[in-house]
């Protein structure tokens, strides 16, 4: 079976040529093979000459000698035509310019050049082949004799590629940007390269995500930068960048540092994702796949598949990170938020994943549902639930009720003063709590439960109840039926809390006695309910309990921090105490079990 690459001819000869369809047939590629592009030399007598290439299947195990091209695909709006095995084949303008550059500079253009080029070497319309070849890409770049970095054509030379005839006639100019003296390592006059190096560091190429792997995998001494009508060795380029303090934070220098430390811990998948989260690519799935070949902790265990939706890739990545026993899991929801934003965010993921893969039914995580264990930190227990926040703000009588509840339930005068001040600061900050902000406080639309023995953090917490001065018996204000919104609550903090929150906002359905837990990396807390398990069996004499995650709440900042930010223009998620802390101790830890949909909701609604 042959696969066809279909394109419209860009020729303008004759009135019907615009509608001509040229078909290039890809031959099926064996699993252990790659395709090498052989760029043919330029014939000296023909100045404006088309790019000619041939394509060959080569067994990867035969250790073929070739170069690999690293370049930006561009937006695809402008195409150029080359000849591939004698058939017209359409490529992006930037790739065509790269081929012209290489043909003119490599070996004086006297012999064919063997190059691996993803847009040509991979049949992009064959999903199975694409999956296999993308998995091979780190090895392809690692085994290449030379990785050619193509930075493109500067805007000052764009007229050279305004038409195909001009492009194919390009030759090395009399005054290249960086002279041959530079290529040989000789000193270059300051006036010649000051602005030039800076302009090269700002080329769009450096924003690409895939270059992190392509440059990172290149062998030592096997990396060269091509641009405009010339080239420079990578090491010399880096030396020139290092000579300018203003380029200390440039992307090329950062990439070189990653190359030098590619066998260290910084090249784990989670670190690569955090460090390079702003890198650009067209396909959101490549935000993950682009790092798989470079990550030292992945190997062949990651399921790369372009038939999967972005949400499925998000799911694969979260569970991969969760299954790594060598890393702490206290930041798993923070990583979930990062991953969700990288592969599409709330808008990009919800239509594609949630509706297609999940129902809104109840979930028992002791069944066959795949779950995440998230180490939370027990903050306290809800001791009292008050009026709707909107009523407290709008109705003086309801506001007085809230103050009265604080007075009735806190007997210690010093603690009462602290809580009253915290209440005033909290309500003042919540003046900007609009409809958008209210989305951060919500109850789940389904039951999410699991069973296990009573957690030590709850044992420890409840053993101290009554020893801490202050909170009296709890009560709950009645609520008119049919009302919606967030309710204020008072919290009994854990005794070890140094700067506690004593209150917060919770969704309807929250009850007195519910526990509040913080999870690292998200700006709200989660509400957990404990009840006696229907399963009477015990473990080592400890009774089993049913735990349910109710929803997400927002805790007030502690009094000292709230004073510091008073009057500041806070974003919705900054209104609450941030859930950033060191991994909880054994006496503070509260293990929370959630499914992937819940992880997505908790992390992306932040």
Of 356, 379, 409, the domain-final residue: 356
- Better-predicted residue by pLDDT, 594 or 172: 594
Are 566 and 455 within one domain? yes
- Assign 337 a pLDDT band (cuts: 50, 70, 90): confident
Query: Is residue 508 situated within a structural domain?
Result: yes
Are 49 and 164 within one domain? yes
Are 600 and 489 within one domain? yes
CB 313 within 8 A of CB 336: no
- Assign 123 a pLDDT band (cuts: 50, 70, 90): very high
Residue 271, domain extent: 265-356
Are 349 and 300 within one domain? yes
CB 546 within 8 A of CB 451: yes
Q: What value does the mean pLDDT take over residues 576-599?
A: 74
Question: How does 141-151 read in b/e, with b if 16+ C-beta sit within 10 Å?
Answer: bbbbebbbbbb
Short-list 545, 543, 481, CA closest to 513: 545
CB 566 within 8 A of CB 412: no
Mean pLDDT rounded to a whole number for the chain: 78
Are 326 and 392 within one domain? no
Q: Any bridge partners for residue 364, and if so which?
A: 449
Of 356, 391, 416, the domain-final residue: 356
Query: Is residue 378 situated within a structural domain?
Result: yes
Are 403 and 487 within one domain? yes
CB 200 within 8 A of CB 150: no
Are 446 and 580 within one domain? yes
Query: Is residue 352 situated within a structural domain?
Result: yes
**Any long-range contacts for 80-84 (C-beta under 8 Å, 24+ apart)?**
80/10, 80/164, 80/167, 81/7, 81/9, 81/10, 81/11, 81/50, 81/164, 82/50, 82/51, 82/52, 82/53, 83/50, 83/51, 83/52, 83/53, 84/24, 84/53, 84/54, 84/55, 84/120
Query: Is residue 193 situated within a structural domain?
Result: no
Q: Any bridge partners for residue 115, and if so which?
A: 37, 67
Q: Which helix (H) or strand (E) holds 440?
A: none
Q: What digits encode the pLDDT tens for the residues 193-229?
A: 667 888 899 999 999 999 999 999 999 889 999 998 8
Are 288 and 381 within one domain? no
Are 330 and 477 within one domain? no
Are 520 and 566 within one domain? yes
Q: What digits encode the pLDDT tens for the residues 407-424?
A: 998 999 999 999 999 999
* Cα 242–chain centre separation: 29
Of 324, 356, 388, the domain-final residue: 356
Q: Any bridge partners for residue 529, and if so which?
A: 548
Short-list 353, 334, 217, 198, CA closest to 277: 334
Q: Which helix (H) or strand (E) holds 87?
A: strand 87-92
Count of structural domains, the chain? 3
CA distance 502 to 490: 6
CA distance 380 to 468: 12
Q: What digits encode the pLDDT tens for the residues 225-284?
A: 999 888 999 999 999 899 888 888 999 999 999 888 777 766 889 889 998 988 988 899
Query: Is residue 159 situated within a structural domain?
Result: yes
Query: What does pTM read for this prediction?
Result: 0.75
Q: What value does the mean pLDDT take over residues 505-515?
A: 93
Are 346 and 384 within one domain? no
Are 129 and 96 within one domain? yes
Query: Is residue 229 situated within a structural domain?
Result: yes
Q: Any bridge partners for residue 581, and if so which?
A: none
């Amino acid at each position: 079976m042959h696969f066809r690459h279909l394109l419209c001819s860009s020729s303008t000869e004759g009135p019907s040529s615009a509608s001509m369809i040229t078909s290039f047939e890809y031959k099926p590629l064996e699993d252990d093979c790659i395709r090498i592009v052989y760029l043919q030399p330029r014939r000296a007598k023909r100045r404006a000459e088309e790019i000619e290439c041939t394509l060959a299947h080569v067994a990867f195990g035969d250790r073929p000698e070739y170069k690999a091209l690293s370049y930006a695909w561009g937006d695809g709006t402008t195409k150029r035509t080359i000849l591939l095995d004698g058939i017209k084949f359409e490529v992006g303008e930037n790739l065509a310019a790269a081929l012209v550059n290489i043909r003119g500079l490599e070996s004086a253009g006297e012999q064919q050049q063997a190059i691996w080029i993803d847009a040509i070497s991979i049949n992009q319309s064959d999903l199975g082949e694409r999956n296999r070849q993308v998995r091979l890409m780190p090895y392809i770049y690692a085994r290449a004799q030379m990785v050619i970095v193509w930075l493109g054509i500067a805007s000052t030379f764009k007229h050279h590629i305004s038409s195909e005839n001009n492009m194919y006639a390009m030759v090395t100019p009399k005054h290249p940007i960086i002279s041959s003296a530079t290529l040989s390592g000789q000193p270059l006059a300051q006036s010649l390269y000051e602005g030039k190096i800076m302009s090269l560091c700002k080329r769009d190429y450096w924003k690409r995500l895939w270059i992190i792997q392509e440059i990172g995998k290149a062998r030592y001494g096997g990396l060269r930068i091509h641009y405009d009508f010339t080239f420079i060795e990578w090491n010399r380029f880096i030396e020139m960048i290092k000579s300018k303090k203003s380029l200390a934070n440039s992307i090329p220098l950062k990439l070189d540092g990653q190359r030098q430390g590619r066998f260290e811990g910084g090249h784990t998948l989670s670190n690569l994702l955090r460090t390079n989260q702003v890198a650009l690519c067209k396909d959101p799935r490549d935000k993950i796949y682009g790092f798989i070949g470079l990550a030292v902790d992945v190997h062949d265990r990651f399921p790369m598949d372009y038939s999967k939706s972005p949400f499925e890739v998000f799911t694969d990545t979260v569970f991969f990170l969760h299954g790594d026993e060598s890393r702490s899991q206290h930041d798993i929801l923070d990583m979930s938020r990062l991953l969700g934003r990288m592969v599409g965010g709330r808008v990009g993921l919800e239509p594609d994943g949630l509706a297609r893969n999940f129902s809104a039914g109840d979930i028992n995580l002791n069944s066959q549902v795949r779950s995440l264990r998230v180490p939370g930190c027990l903050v306290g227990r809800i001791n009292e639930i008050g009026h709707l926040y909107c009523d407290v703000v709008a109705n003086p009588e309801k506001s007085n009720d809230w103050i009265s509840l604080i007075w009735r339930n806190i007997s210690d005068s010093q603690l009462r003063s602290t809580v009253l001040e915290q209440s005033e600061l909290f309500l003042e900050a919540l003046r900007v709590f609009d409809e958008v902000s209210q989305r951060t406080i919500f109850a789940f639309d389904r039951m999410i439960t699991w069973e296990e023995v009573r957690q030590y953090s709850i044992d420890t917490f409840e053993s101290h109840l009554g020893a801490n001065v202050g909170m009296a018996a709890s009560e709950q204000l009645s609520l008119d039926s049919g009302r919606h919104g967030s309710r204020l609550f008072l919290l009994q903090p854990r005794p070890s809390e140094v700067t506690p929150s004593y209150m917060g906002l919770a969704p309807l359905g929250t009850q007195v006695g519910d526990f509040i837990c913080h999870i690292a990396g998200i700006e709200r807390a989660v509400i957990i309910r404990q009840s006696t398990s229907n399963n009477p069996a015990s473990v080592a004499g400890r009774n089993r309990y049913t735990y349910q995650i109710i929803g997400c709440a927002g805790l007030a900042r502690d009094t000292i921090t709230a004073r510091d930010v008073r009057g500041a223009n806070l974003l919705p998620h900054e209104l609450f105490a941030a859930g950033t802390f060191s991994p909880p101790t054994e006496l503070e830890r509260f293990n929370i079990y959630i499914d992937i949909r819940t992880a997505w909701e908790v992390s992306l609604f932040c």
